[in-house]
Structure 1
Amino acid sequence: MSIPAAPRATSLDPVQLPDWRWQCFLDEAVAALQPLGPEPYPIDPQFLSREGVTGSKAKPVPVATATWACQTEKFRQVRAACVSAGSAASVLNFVINPRTCYDLPFFGADLVTLPNGHLLALDLQPVDRGDRLHTEAVWPELLTIFERWKQALPDGGPIPEEAQPYFSPGFLWTRIPLGAEGDALIDAVIRPAFQEYLQMYLKLEASASPVSAERSEQLLAGQKRYTRYRAEKDPARGMLSRFYGSEWTEAYIHDVLFDLESQSV
């Protein structure tokens, strides 16, 4: 009798990392996407999960990285890059890339814990902030959500001028301390803000209608500018290179995290 082959890993396999701070955020996002009928997104198996070691020889720290990804009718790629490295780092980078035949912004969440504190960001990121057709219907509702949560958080600091075109007026950005105070803010503010930003984005998705071919080309050009910038400036490059080497890291950044150049839309 033949032995059934083991099921092949896919990008929809649940992520469960040891001592990972952001598990409930990813679980809630995955659950929110289920009504859209998500299908696996093609990712090379070498990027679905990876383990390594950081720290010194005397005090090695286990590192685990995992990727969750899907695609839907209106989303070209939804992906979560997840890193757990004990006290050295705990990261969730969750991005929704819309198909360019729909006039939608990106959804972006960066939830990062490092030894000196938490760096947390939420946004509905425009393809082109100066494009009024693309933005003006979105920001009033987003700003209402933004203002409500912003007042409960310390400011994250200035945004570099070169990055400003890629963030909306509702960019929620904060730095908070480790420990009980930071944990309380994450539970009371960041988690419900994440849920509200995501629910607003999914409401935009539900109402989005196909655009003209000309408009789709404009959106594609804007998305390519955005993804090139993000790939060039990815702040995780140094950390991932320390964990896994530069060759794997560059392939992960360009072929998974910001893969638009190599994909059909």
Structure 2
Amino acid sequence: MFQPFLRHLEQELFSRFELKSRPIDPELEFQMSKRGKNPAMIESWCYQSPELRKIRYTYINAGKMAQIFNSVLYPSYGYDMPLLGIDFLAFGQKKILVVLDFQPLFRDEGYMEKYIEPVKAIRDRYDELAQDLPMRFYDAAQYFSPYLLFAKTDADTVVNSLLPAFKEYLDLYCTMLKNLKPTDDPERIAKITQAHKDYDQYSADRDPAAGLFNSYFGHEWSEQFLHEFLFEESTPSESAKAEIETDSASESESEQTANV
């Protein structure tokens, strides 16, 4: 379902930036699962450029049971740009959750005006993808913008609305980044670096997809994937892990992930 998004992301990034591959542990780059009734495949890619220190994206293909596309673009530390966060999950043709956002590193008025307000014009064209849904695992006021696209939707909307919205968000993001001049202020770079680390730790502690990874690929692989690839600046947190596992245990695999 989300392969057109992956292909467009690659096309745009390779045409706009001088990308180089970042190495991935082969065990994390590709895995096949035959656990349970529904086999699944997970494949990941990772690149970097002078403007982007890390571009990662992952696709999970479990046939009709699940299709998941996840990506985060991390600007280099000289840029205080938001991260671009992408998380599209489909469990069949009708149970689909989509998340797309410029994820702010800072929330002062000047920062939000510069980097987040330009998103408003795009977001306003896609009201059907900006639903007022509750967030079970995250604080909406932290690392999410007011112009977040967050919706439970269907396959037709994915094609007719989500794909064009995705193209517009990505185009704006790449254009903004290409037009920026990186800072050489050591103090600002240190703050940006810490903000990236804080984002990774926050995300790793709360990511509900850990339960899905566990169910398909096992706990040990899931922990390694979470902390060594998805959020490599994070360290395992026992308390957060226990909280996620408690919440996950009360729900089915798909319901738990779709209630991000």
Give TM class, smaller chain: 0.7 to 0.9
Q: Does the Cα contact within 8 Å between 2:85 and 2:103 map onto a contact in 1?
A: yes
Q: Does the Cα contact within 8 Å between 1:109 and 1:121 map onto a contact in 2?
A: yes
Residue of structure 1 equivalent to 2:78: 101
Select the residue among 9, 12, 20 that pairs with 1:39.
20
Select the residue among 113, 116, 120 that pairs with 2:90.
113
Aligned pairs for 1:54-65 (under 5 A) are 54-55=35-36, 60-65=37-42
Residue of structure 2 equivalent to 1:9: none
For structure 2, the 5+ residue unaligned runs are 236-260
Could you report, residue by residue, the CA deviation over 1:98-138 in whole angstroms, capped at 9, with x for unpaired residues?
1111121100111101256000011010012x233432212
2:231 is the counterpart of 1:258: yes
Judged with a 3 Å threshold, the aligned counterparts in structure 2 of structure 1 residues 79 and 154 are, in CA distance, closer, same or farther, namely: closer
Task: Report deviation, 1:95.
Answer: 0.8
Q: Distance in 2 between matches of 1:156 and 1:87?
A: 27
Select the residue among 31, 40, 53 that pairs with 2:34.
53
Judged with a 3 Å threshold, the aligned counterparts in structure 2 of structure 1 residues 156 and 50 are, in CA distance, closer, same or farther, namely: farther
Residue of structure 2 equivalent to 1:6: none
Q: Which amino acid aligns with 1:227?
A: D
Percentage of matched positions with identical amino acids: 29
2:222 is the counterpart of 1:222: no
Q: Which amino acid aligns with 2:46?
A: A
2:46 is the counterpart of 1:66: no
2:105 is the counterpart of 1:127: yes
> Equivalent residue of 2:126, what SS?
helix
Question: TM-score if structure 1 supplies the norm length?
Answer: 0.82
Root mean square deviation, CA, Å: 1.7
Aligned pairs for 1:172-251 (under 5 A) are 172-176=149-153, 182-211=154-183, 212-251=185-224
Task: Report deviation, 1:204.
Answer: 1.2
Q: Which amino acid aligns with 2:163?
A: R
Judged with a 3 Å threshold, the aligned counterparts in structure 2 of structure 1 residues 131 and 223 are, in CA distance, closer, same or farther, namely: farther
Q: Which amino acid aligns with 2:26?
A: P
Q: Distance in 2 between matches of 1:147 and 1:200?
A: 14
Question: TM-score if structure 2 supplies the norm length?
Answer: 0.84
Q: Distance in 2 between matches of 1:123 and 1:209?
A: 22
> Equivalent residue of 1:103, what SS?
coil
> Equivalent residue of 1:61, what SS?
coil
> Equivalent residue of 1:101, what SS?
coil
Task: Report deviation, 1:156.
Answer: 5.2
Tell me which structure has the larger Cα radius of gyration.
Answer: 1
Q: Which amino acid aligns with 1:207?
A: N
2:114 is the counterpart of 1:137: yes
Aligned pairs for 1:80-99 (under 5 A) are 80-99=57-76
Task: Report deviation, 1:88.
Answer: 2.6
Could you report, residue by residue, the CA deviation over 1:129-158 in whole angstroms, capped at 9, with x for unpaired residues?
x233432212222011111112x3472512
Q: Does the Cα contact within 8 Å between 1:41 and 1:70 map onto a contact in 2?
A: yes
Q: Distance in 1 between matches of 2:167 and 2:53?
A: 21
In the alignment of these two chains, the number of paired residues is 231
Q: Does the Cα contact within 8 Å between 1:154 and 1:175 map onto a contact in 2?
A: no
Residue of structure 2 equivalent to 1:26: 6
2:131 is the counterpart of 1:155: yes
Judged with a 3 Å threshold, the aligned counterparts in structure 2 of structure 1 residues 153 and 106 are, in CA distance, closer, same or farther, namely: closer
Q: Which amino acid aligns with 1:194?
A: F
Q: Distance in 2 between matches of 1:101 and 1:28?
A: 26
Residue of structure 2 equivalent to 1:13: none
Q: Distance in 1 between matches of 2:104 and 2:230?
A: 18
> Which of 114-123 and 101-110 deviates more?
114-123
Q: Which amino acid aligns with 1:213?
A: P
Task: Report deviation, 1:94.
Answer: 1.1
Could you report, residue by residue, the CA deviation over 1:3-45 in whole angstroms, capped at 9, with x for unpaired residues?
xxxxxxxxxxxxxxxxxx2111000000001131211012111
